């Protein structure tokens, strides 16, 4: 009996190991879109073929891809689909080639590793053509779209209609993990952002750090923003109201937002120049508080804030969509 029990235990251990190993082998891999057969150096008059491939595809029914290249080195000759369906004549301009394809009718999408199309290029000069996949929009057989930029799946939300002016900024920052939605599928772009949440965005965007050894009286350790607000306070970015209060859950005004951004960028070593600002273009310039005037000049001069319809609305609140646009601009500020 004891021997049979030992055999059973051994079998169970082997089974468990096989489950673990199988889990590793069958772990879902990310979908990618890549080019193959790329030449490092091209000669004038030389023709060569590259292949646009999908890796780990999951029900790919249609796609639109942008491939960039150096137009001084090569020119496109032709493109051909490797799949049966409708291949749209490529759009080719300014060193970007847009190719698109769709299956027709009720057909299953492509799965696994698949060659999607080939493109023939011809050399114009000696050098590197710098071919690369910029972005791919992939649709499954239910026409659900997923966008990849540099093979990174873009995070998107289903409530951005009416906020197209901010969509790219929101999706880009969400993909980087700098901003988050109010749920898995919603961003709530029209809601006002609180003072604490805006500070969180600032700290994450500029990668600010400091040892938090104290905080405002109305910010407690259990608050999700405790660390970021503490960092901003330590670095002199968040000054509060003078009574060691920060009012973290209040909506932030546009002029207070500009003050925080101005201080944070200086701490991050990104110097702003407000000397070129012409605030007379805004009808509500007299509504700007004295303490915020220099910060407003800096934001306007550097095109971080542009106003709308001739007004700055300094005392108005900042929406989540507006906050995303500001974060994007300061993230890539030179």
Between residues 10 and 115, which one has the greater pLDDT? 115
Segment 309-315 mean pLDDT:
95
Residue 13 has pLDDT above 60, yes or no: no
- 95-133, pLDDT tens digit by residue? 999 999 999 999 999 999 999 999 999 999 999 999 999
Segment 257-262 mean pLDDT:
97
User: Which of 265, 235, 215, 67 lies closest to 150, judged by CA?
Assistant: 67
* Local structure of 133: helix, strand or coil: strand
Q: Which residues pair with 139 in a beta bridge?
A: 62, 145
Residue 14 has pLDDT above 50, yes or no: no
Residue 220 has pLDDT above 90, yes or no: yes
pLDDT (0 to 100) of residue 301: 93
pLDDT (0 to 100) of residue 130: 92
Q: Which residues pair with 214 in a beta bridge?
A: none
Full-model pTM: 0.69
Residue 11 has pLDDT above 80, yes or no: no
pLDDT (0 to 100) of residue 38: 82
Domains and CATH numbers, the chain: 32-153 (2.60.40.680), 164-331 (no CATH)
Q: What is the mean pLDDT of the chain?
A: 89
% residues pLDDT > 90 (the chain): 79
CA–CA dist 139, 158 (Å, integer):
16
pLDDT (0 to 100) of residue 260: 97
CA–CA dist 218, 169 (Å, integer):
31
């Amino acid at each position: 009996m004891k021997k049979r029990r030992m055999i059973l235990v051994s079998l169970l251990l082997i089974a468990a190991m096989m489950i673990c190993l199988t889990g590793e082998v069958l772990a879902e891999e990310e979908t990618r879109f890549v080019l193959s057969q790329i030449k490092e150096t091209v000669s004038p008059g030389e023709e060569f073929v590259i292949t646009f491939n999908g890796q780990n595809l999951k029900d790919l029914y249609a796609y639109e891809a942008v491939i960039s290249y150096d137009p001084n080195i090569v020119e496109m000759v032709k493109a051909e689909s490797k799949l049966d369906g409708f291949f749209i004549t490529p759009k080719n301009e300014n060193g970007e080639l847009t190719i698109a394809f769709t299956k027709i009718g009720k057909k299953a999408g492509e799965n696994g590793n698949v060659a999607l199309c080939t493109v023939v290029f011809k050399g114009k000069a000696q050098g590197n053509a710098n071919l690369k996949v910029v972005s791919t929009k992939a649709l499954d057989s239910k026409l659900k779209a997923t966008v990849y930029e540099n093979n990174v799946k873009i995070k998107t939300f289903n409530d951005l209609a009416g906020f197209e002016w901010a969509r790219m900024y929101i999706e880009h920052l969400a993909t980087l993990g700098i901003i988050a939605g109010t749920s898995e599928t919603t961003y709530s772009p029209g809601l006002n952002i609180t003072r604490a949440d805006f500070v969180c965005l600032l700290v994450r965007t500029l990668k600010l750090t400091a040892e938090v050894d104290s905080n405002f009286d109305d910010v407690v350790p259990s608050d999700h923003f405790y660390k970021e607000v503490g960092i901003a306070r330590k670095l002199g970015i968040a000054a509060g109201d003078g009574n060691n209060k920060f009012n973290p859950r209040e909506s932030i005004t546009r002029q207070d937002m500009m003050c925080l951004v101005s201080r944070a960028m200086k701490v991050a070593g990104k110097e702003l120049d407000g000397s070129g600002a012409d605030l007379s273009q805004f009808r509500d310039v007299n509504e700007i508080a004295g303490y915020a005037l220099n910060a407003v000049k800096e934001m306007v001069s550097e095109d971080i804030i542009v106003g709308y319809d001739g007004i700055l609305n300094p005392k108005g609140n900042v929406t989540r969509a507006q906050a995303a646009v500001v974060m994007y601009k300061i993230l890539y500020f030179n």
